[in-house]
Amino acid sequence: MTISKTALACALAASMLAAPVGSAFAKPGGCLKYGAAGAVAGHAVHHGVKGFMAGCAAGMVRRHYYKKQLKAQKKAGEMAPAAAAAPAPAN
């Protein structure tokens, strides 16, 4: 059973991009971490630089979403005590 280099690189890239964003990651990697993985995958099909650039972009997007979630959680945490202290509406 032989797997082509292109299929292997596509599978690696797809698994890297489709990884779940949840409690499994303490903090997602950025450009360098994902870029290195992309470069390795790209090197397998003789496109290391293109792989690095694609991995770097994916890492930046994942880091952006992570920071956006942190801000939303922080804002929700600040809003919860104020909503709980508000008086109940009278009927």
The structural domain count of the chain equals: 1
**The dihedral of CA 22, 9, 64, 32: what is its sign?**
positive
User: What does pTM read for this prediction?
Assistant: 0.55
As a whole-number percent, the residues of the chain with pLDDT over 70 amount to 58
Q: Check: CB of residue 57 under 8 Å from CB of residue 42.
A: no
Q: Is residue 40 in some structural domain? A: yes
Instruction: Give the single-character DSSP code of 88.
Output: P
pLDDT higher than threshold 90 for residue 65: yes
Grouping H, G, I as helix, E, B as strand and the rest as coil, residue 67 is helix
Residue 61 pLDDT class (50, 70, 90 cuts): very high
Q: Is residue 86 in some structural domain? A: no
Sequence-ordered list of residues with C-beta below 8 angstroms from that of 47, at least 6 positions apart, any chain: none
Enclosing domain of residue 53: 1-17+27-72
